[in-house]
Amino acid sequence: MKLAIINPNSTQSMTKKCEEVALKFKNEDTEIWASNPTNSPKSIEGHYDEVKSLMGLLDEIKKAKEWGANAFVVACFDDPGLEAARELVDGPVIGICEAAMHMTSIVSSSFSVVTTLNRSVPIIEELSHKYGMDKFCRKVRAADIPVLALEDGTCNAKKKIEDEILKAVKEDNCEAIILGCAGMADLTIELSKSCNIPVVDGVLCAIKMAESLVGAKLMTSKINAYAYPIEK
């Protein structure tokens, strides 16, 4: 199968990080396309950045469709543009927040999310409600890290994330942690060991969910909500 991973922001190092996760954990017969728009914000931190990224994201979805992608991963934890992207293609379109929450709810009875900035907390809380995950999501926490600090090594990002995970374990009584940013995708194994709790990355969850859906021959329904856009 052919799997497209679209990072909606324009930071190539983050796209590369997502691609490396995919290449490490993908099925042997899965081909990977990883890309990002060049005209979108360098990071997506809030509603404004999210809206600014959408047309570039959808353009990348179209390019991946021309490449022959069977499934599409939107690698931003805000899950921007999923519904619009699903109108454009037949293959499954998966958001990393959506994938992480659903998978984690199967292997634990509760989880907390550790994201970057406080402004992302209400966005993720809203997604938790939308996806029916309020029963499982104990709390959405912010480690007070700008997204780009995950790429340039500033702010002692890993230590801040680890500290917030340990707080979640103690205060939230959760059984798993979801990392709430694609830029954290390379930290899961190390943090799982140091914090002694399952730490889940949405990029990896979305990749494996995409492979499963394609393997099960499940396509995006074109009845009503995700029908192809009406030409105008």
Question: How long a stretch of residues is the chain?
Answer: 232
117 and 172 housed in the same domain = yes
Q: Are residues 87 and 123 in the same domain?
A: no
- Residue ranges with strand state E in the chain: 2-6, 31-35, 71-74, 93-95, 111-115, 137-142, 177-179, 199-201
- Model pLDDT for residues 105-137, shown as the tens digit of each residue: 999 999 999 999 999 999 999 999 999 999 999
Predicted structure pTM score = 0.95
Cα separations in angstroms, 80 against 53, 174, 198 = 8, 27, 26
**Residue 220 is encoded by which pair of tokens?**
């995006």
**Looking at the domain assignment, is residue 229 inside a domain?**
no
Query: If the chain, 232 residues long, is cut into consecutive pieces of 10 residues, what is the mean pLDDT of each piece?
Result: 98 95 96 97 96 98 98 98 98 98 98 97 98 98 92 82 96 98 92 96 98 98 97 90
Q: Do residues 102 and 171 share a domain?
A: yes
Instruction: Find the domain containing 116 and state its range.
Output: 97-201
Contact 172, 139 (CB under 8 A): yes
The verdict on residue 18 lying in a domain is: yes
Residues 141 and 174 grouped into a single domain? yes
Output the domain CATH number for residue 216: 3.40.50.12500
Look at the chain and report how many structural domains it folds into: 2
Dihedral (C-alpha) 142, 148, 150, 155: value to the nearest 10 degrees? -70
